[in-house]
Amino acid sequence: MSSCIYPPYDLLEIFEGHNIARKKLRNELNLFMAGEKDLTKYREAGINWWDYCGQILINSYPTYFEKLPALIEQINREKRNSKNYVLFLGSTGAETNQAPCLSLIQFQLEDGELVLSAYQRSSDANLGLPADIYHLYLISRQIEAPLKSITLNLGNVHIYENNIERTRELLAGNETVRFDLNV
């Protein structure tokens, strides 16, 4: 398992220095938090990457993230330095072929600053990881406290063999690369 710690300056450099689908990822997180499971709503927001696995996976993410708005409201209301606030993305009975890759998000206030920690059981380094880091950043911005850091613990980080050459192209600066999705 590896761990990455991102202070706010590094996060800003990552998100502003690279062409990522910020608006689509923001819309996706909002749909997740609203508990939206209808793929049509995602397509209407310009998000079509769920089409490849459709209802197999989309049922799980909104089921987990729809708990987030109430937790954020509680954190902003209480603002307790000594308390760990946790969103556990565990079993919900949603029909899916696997658990979500992001498994746990912990919020802690240290001297009035937010320390966000997360555990991710599995991560496509070239595809899902950038989106997951940005989602964590967007979530942190909803907490009424300055961000101190985001720590992401990764259980399994990989690039699928059929995407190795495209990953090399992306690293060489080709931001139009499309990856084959593996489910």
pLDDT tens column, 2-17: 666 666 666 666 666 5
Over residues 68-122, the pLDDT tens digits come to 999 999 999 999 987 888 887 765 565 655 667 788 899 999 999 999 999 988 8
Domain ranges of the chain: 2-171
Residue 89, Cβ density class (10 Å: 0-12 exposed, 13-18 middle, ≥19 buried)? buried
CA-based torsion, 57, 116, 121, 159: positive or negative:
positive
Q: What is the pTM of this model?
A: 0.79
Nearest CA to 139 among 4, 3, 11? 11
**Of the CATH numbers 3.20.20.140, 1.20.58.340, 3.40.50.2300, 3.30.572.10, which one belongs to the domain with range 2-171?**
3.30.572.10
Confidence of residue 51 (pLDDT cuts 50, 70, 90): low
Over residues 114-171, the pLDDT tens digits come to 999 999 888 888 877 888 888 899 999 999 999 999 999 999 888 889 888 988 887 7
